[in-house]
Every structure is written in C-alpha cells, then in structure tokens.
Amino acid sequence: MSAHAGTAARIDDITPSDPSLPLVLDLDHSLIRCDILHEAALAYLRRNPLGLFSLARWLLQGRAALKRKLAERVTLDVETLPVNEELAAYAVAAKDKGRTVVLATACDTVFATQIAERFPFIDGVVASDGVTNMKGKAKAAALAKTYPDGFAYAGDSATDLAVWDKASSIVIVGASRSVARKAEALGPVEARFPKASVAKALRKSARLHQWAKNTLVFAPLFLGGQIANPVAWTNATLAFLAIGVLASTTYLLNDLFDLPDDRKHWSKRDRPLASGRLPIFVAVAALPIGFAASFALAALVGPAVVGLLAAYLVVTVAYSMSLKRQPIVDAFTLAVLFTLRLGLGVAAAQVVLSEWLLVFSMFLFASLSFAKRHTEIERMAMRGEDRVAGRGYLSTDGPLILTLGVASGLGAVMIMVLYLINDAFKAGFYADPVWLWASPPILFLWIGRIWLLCQRGELHDDPVAFAVRDRTSILLGAAMGMAFVGAAVGNYL
C-alpha cells in the first residue's frame, strides 16, 4: 500500500503479507526527531567547551570510535528526547498485529540500548559497536543477513537508500523529495510520514516577535531631540537590524545550551530545537552566518555601535553559559541587555542621553525580568516541582521575586519622575516638556497591570511579548508615545 504524501499511514492499510515482515526502525530523525551523535557531542561541549579538540581527535579514529568515546563520557536523558509520535504509534500497531519490531541505528549501542528500553514495543537492537559504524551499506548487510526472508525498513535519509534496496517493504519518514523518489523506485512503499519544515522551524527559533524589544534603539531619537533627523533615523534603523539579527542568533545559541532543560519545561519543550523540528547541525551552521551579518550591519554605522554590539554578545554568552542559573543575577543581566539596546540607539543617533534614563531602563527591565521568573516559579509550583529547570530558583522563592519585581517597577516610576524634575525641563530639545508629566502615571498603570496579571497567573513567560499583543498595553504605549511626541513638537502644533 501507499499512504498519501504528507499524511501518517495506518497499520490497517498493510497488505496481508506484510505482518510476516519484521519492521525495522531507524532512530535518528525517524523514531526520534533528533540525532544522537549531535546530541552527545553538544552535551559533551556544553560541559567542556575545549573538548572540541578531543572530538576532532576521536573523529580521526572513525565515526564508530567517536560515538563510543562520547557514549562513555556523556549521559543523555533519553526519556526527554523528542519522539516521532506518529511513527511510534505505527510501530505499536504493527507490534499488536504480531510483527517483530527492531531498532537499527548508527548510534552507539550504549545509547541505542538505553533508548530501546523506553519503547516496550522494540524487540531487538542493531547498532554501532565502537568498530563498525552501522550506517548505509553496513546496516543493509547486517539486516539482510539477520532477516534473509525480508524486512520492512523505516528511514529518512539518503544513506538509508542502501538499506531500502535490501528491504522488502519501505517506510519513508520525513525524507526529502529527492530521497523519497529514489526510495519509491526501490520497492513497495508501505507507509509515509511527513517532513517538518526546517525553514519554518528556523524562523520560529529566531523569535522575530521578540524584535519588538529592539525598538528601544529608536528611543534616543525621541529622548535626544533627533526625531526630525533623517541621518539619525537611518543609523538607528541599521542598528535595529544589527541587534535584531544578533539577538535572534543568540537565541539559537541559548537554546543549544538550554536543550536538556527546555525539554523538561512545560512550554519550552515545544521550541523547535527542543522538539527536534530544527536539527542541531542547522542551528550550529546558522550561528556564524548570523554573527557575521549582524556585525556587518553594525560596521555600516560606526565603531561605537560595533563595540556595544560586541558587549551585548559577551554578556549574552555569559548569561547562556552561567549567569542564567544564578538567582536574581539573571534578572539583573537581562536588564543590562535591555539597557545595552538603549545604549546602541544612543551611539547610532549620536546623542547625549541622561543618566537618569539609563538607570530607569535598568529598573524597568529588571522588574519585567522578575515578572518572567515569577511566572515560571508559579507554574513550577502548580506542577508540584521544587526547582525551575535550568535556573537557580526554588518553588519557595515566589514571594521574594514578587517583592523585588514590584519594587523595581515602582523604582522605575520614581526615577522617571526624578528625570523630569532634574533633566527633562533643562535639556533644551523638548519644545513643551510639560507633556512628559503624562509618562509616570501611564508607566505606573502598565507596571501595575503586568504584576496584577502575573500574580493571578494570567501572564505568560515573557511580559514584553505579552505587551505587544495586549490591547491595554498597546493603548498605554501609544499614550506614552504621544506624550513624548507632544513634548518634542508641542510649540509647533
């Protein structure tokens, strides 16, 4: 039989002769939606970044040797590895019909055996043993020898064509169109399973909706009296694109570091990398491209923007590797990253910005960062867990984080008032600074709303992402913007 492309096949469609055939499942990007070698290598490098040289040395001994070395040094949480649920259900149905189900994989037998224990329907394992890399022709020969009367094989890649050539029946799992066409020419297709869009997964990992945070780059144009300067707008736009590309790239980097913890998280487990929809090698390949594009855009503006962008990258890497696991320090670091965005706009627009506003930024974004952590803590407590995965917070930290977050938000309101009293009316570039007095009450209402929803459990992970979709937040933001525009051009209306 042949299922329609793009849909999961049903075991009921198998022809009468098929139940006598063992069903052999490939592992990487087939039964599970990731690659065990890449997972193990990343886990090894996460613990020891200089281990890259060891990986290169082991690879010279052969891929089978590399896999065995990693299996001896790395422990994978096989229970959280993302599973191709459609193929797993197909295998369960096959088992119920009396078929033998076997796992045949190029990953090392240590990992393969651990993973097989997760699936009660698996009857046997064929895997690499530290000497033979059980892939392509080697796997085909081993299976043909073990099952001389034929077998059905479920695979995904071009290297599986050699196995399909020996198989009596073919199951195509997420293969490219060219591989699928070649597989179809080798024998009867028993079932097909759709291929997820890598491009779509990469776009989702880039978190383009988070670029709303980068609009801080434009704030100095309003705060520094450059709202009518086209050169300043051009430079700020380039800086906005540079920080946007860099932020998206560092999201990928952070997700690579966070992979095991994200898979244990109630919502982050659906991220493209954690769910296996985005292969690790694609994310790794995208990193140098993103970094190069970001700094190329920054270079068009000037060395100051390049320097601040480099500082942003250093702080982000430090956050991903260590600081995010330090309670309270993590929220402070996120506030620093937001303030660096503001500094980037200052450098791009070439304005002198009040120190009050930079301090205001630290307090405001510390409050929002605490709101994000408080939400995670409350969700964790509701699920009966004691600790936030990948963070340093305990379920008992909720009241403290709530207090720090509200205090930081009110501190931001107070600093805004002090800015108006001490600097705004003296700056000279506001046409009618009286308009600015609308800002503190608007800010107070918005911060109060964020924390009210946070305390009620109605706020999702990221308050900034929430704000760009929340009608009330958008209206308050528009009112704040009108206040600054009115202050800038008031006398000319």
- Distance, CA of 422 to CA of 413 (rounded, Å): 14
- Of the candidates 186, 135, 195, 188, the one whose C-alpha atom is nearest the C-alpha of residue 159 is 135
Mean pLDDT over residues 267-279, rounded?
A: 92
- Look at 160 and 223; give whichever has higher pLDDT: 160
Mean pLDDT over residues 133-152, rounded?
A: 95
Q: What is the pLDDT of residue 68?
A: 96
When mean pLDDT is compared across 155-169, 221-235, 274-288, the lowest value belongs to 221-235
Q: What is the pLDDT of residue 8?
A: 45
Name the band, by pLDDT with cuts 50, 70 and 90, for residue 461.
low
Q: Walk me through the domains of the chain, giving residue ranges and CATH numbers.
A: 11-195 (3.40.50.1000), 199-492 (1.10.600)
| Six token digits for residue 321 | 């590797």
Burial of 466 (0-12, 13-18, 19+ CB in 10 A): buried
Name the band, by pLDDT with cuts 50, 70 and 90, for residue 221.
confident
Q: In what order do the strands lie in the sheet with 124-128?
A: 124-128, 101-108, 23-25, 152-155, 169-173, 189-193
Q: How far is CA 418 from CA 265, 351, 359, 360, 455, in A?
A: 41, 20, 11, 10, 28
| Six token digits for residue 481 | 């913007």
Residue whose token pair is 């540079």: 242
Give yes or no for residue 230 having a pLDDT over 80: yes
Mean pLDDT over residues 168-195, rounded?
A: 94
Q: Which residues contact 130 (CB under 8 A, 6 or more apart)?
A: 64, 65, 67, 68, 108
> pLDDT tens digit string along 414-444?
999 998 888 877 766 677 888 889 999 999 9
Q: What is the pLDDT of residue 177?
A: 92
**Rama region for 98: left / alpha / beta (φ>0; ψ in -120 to 50; rest):** left
Q: What is the pLDDT of residue 14?
A: 44
Highest mean pLDDT among 211-220, 331-340, 370-379: 331-340
- Of the candidates 145, 248, 157, 141, the one whose C-alpha atom is nearest the C-alpha of residue 204 is 248
| Six token digits for residue 324 | 């995010």
- Distance, CA of 361 to CA of 369 (rounded, Å): 12
Return mean pLDDT, the chain.
89
> pLDDT tens digit string along 346-400?
999 888 777 888 899 999 999 999 999 998 888 887 777 777 766 788 888 989 9
Q: What is the pLDDT of residue 18?
A: 61
Give yes or no for residue 13 having a pLDDT over 60: no
> pLDDT tens digit string along 42-69?
999 988 888 999 999 999 999 999 999 9
Q: What is the pLDDT of residue 429?
A: 66
Give yes or no for residue 323 having a pLDDT over 80: yes
Give yes or no for residue 142 having a pLDDT over 80: yes
